[in-house]
Amino acid sequence: MTSPASGAGSAGLDVFARRLPKVEMHCHLPGAIPVETYLDISRANGIPVRSTAGEDPYAFTSFEDFLELYGMICAVLRTRADFERAVYAALERQTRTGNVRYAELFFSPTDHPSVPYATQVDGLVDGIRAAEHDLGIVARLIPSINRTLPAAAAVEMVEEVVAYRRDEVLGIGMDNNEALGPPARFVEAYRMAGRHGLKRTAHAGERGSAEEVAVTIDELGVDRIDHGYGILNDPELVKRAVDRGLPFTGCWTVSLIQMGRPVLGRMIEAGLRVSINSDDPAVIPTDLGREFHGVASTENLDRQALVQCVMNGVEATWLDDSDRRALRGRFESEIHALQAELPGE
């Protein structure tokens, strides 16, 4: 998978990384709203942002501070039209900056306590349909449990998802601060989701815990792991995940911040099925083209390894088999054409 990248850091690899067609499966809608859209909606709803004039409204100083900011961004979305506008703007940015063709987006129902679940989803579906019509991007939704809440709140969220089914909602996720929400707390919510045919993913091992990854795999029955970097501390668990072909949604910038060292290359080398994603691209700020080039240049991945990460992502999507096959075929021919257009280093 990895080989010395002779052109790492060169403009050639940058252009190739940017122009690759991509899927995105680890992206939180509130963290993907362009800052101008966020400011407009907050003004329209009369909700103050935490920065003063001239300061970056998306500045944050630590993970905990980021999570506080994330909650404040959630708080400005009040109406169906706000959700529609936010997701449309996020998808426009993803298309333009990362050449993203298919996205499964997290949103955080319990972080909008004054907005009924149905209003949130209906607005998001409106925006997704408009973006597909105008921009060609296809998006689906993953309501995500805020793990700092009690188990009963997670169960209630899953009950709402089940009671108000829309085809665009494919499964559930779980995010926020792992230190305040151990995975074992959410067994009942995950079982209920599974019983109702929902796919399941969860953040785990974002800051290095292998145990959180193990419990998430063994007790929550997940189809994917988000981040998962801590798995590198447990070789036996790595082997089990490789044998099962369990997908991992890695995020380059966040992995460096949270782990303090490059880890995605080592996960790929270990044989894990890693895709590359952008997490909270507008807030960080980053985009998926930058994430791909960042991985290549810091982890010594060559073009072929980047293509493998794209295809790992395609295989890990929650599309049905025929749609996944169609996406795979489209990506293979586009990537072939891109390789011919930009002869490799």
Residue 162: Cβ within 10 Å count:
15
Beta pairing partners, 102: 23, 138
Question: Looking at 84, 280, 299, 302, which residue binds ligand HPA (CB under 6 A)?
Answer: 280
Q: Is 206 designated active site?
A: yes
Question: Looking at this protein, which amino acid is placed at residue 8?
Answer: A
104 contributes a contact to Zn ion by CB under 5 A = no
302 contributes a contact to Zn ion by CB under 5 A = no
Give which of Zn ion, ligand HPA, none residue 70 binds (C-beta under 5 to 8 Å, depending on kind): ligand HPA
Out of 92, 104, 178, 206, pick the active-site residue: 206
* Burial track 290-326 (b if 16+ CB lie within 10 A, e otherwise): bbbbbbbbbbbbbbebbbbbbbbbbebbbbeeeebee
279 contributes a contact to ligand HPA by CB under 6 A = yes
Sign of dihedral through CA atoms 43, 47, 53, 56? Answer: negative
**Euclidean distance between CA atoms 59 and 87, whole angstroms:** 21
User: By CB under 5 A, which span of 115-123, 275-283, 307-315, 317-325 interacts with Zn ion?
Assistant: 275-283
SS3 12: helix
Q: Provide the minimum distance between the beta carbon of 175 and Zn ion in the complex, in angstroms, as a whole number.
A: 5
Give which of Zn ion, ligand HPA, none residue 140 binds (C-beta under 5 to 8 Å, depending on kind): none
Measured from the CB atom, is 226 or 299 closer to ligand HPA? 226
279 contributes a contact to Zn ion by CB under 5 A = yes
Give which of ligand HPA, Zn ion, none residue 31 binds (C-beta under 5 to 8 Å, depending on kind): ligand HPA
291 contributes a contact to ligand HPA by CB under 6 A = no
Closest CA to 98 of 321, 345, 284, 298: 284
Residues 43-102 touching ligand HPA, rule: CB under 6 A, are 70
Question: Looking at 93, 203, 224, 290, which residue binds ligand HPA (CB under 6 A)?
Answer: 203
Q: Provide the minimum distance between the beta carbon of 279 and ligand HPA in the complex, in angstroms, as a whole number.
A: 5
Contact 157, 189 (CB under 8 A): yes
Q: Provide the minimum distance between the beta carbon of 34 and ligand HPA in the complex, in angstroms, as a whole number.
A: 16
What angle, 0 to 180 degrees and rounded to 10, lies between the N-to-C axes of helices 288-299 and 252-259? 60
Supply the residues annotated as catalytic: 206
Contact residues: Zn ion, CB under 5 A: 279
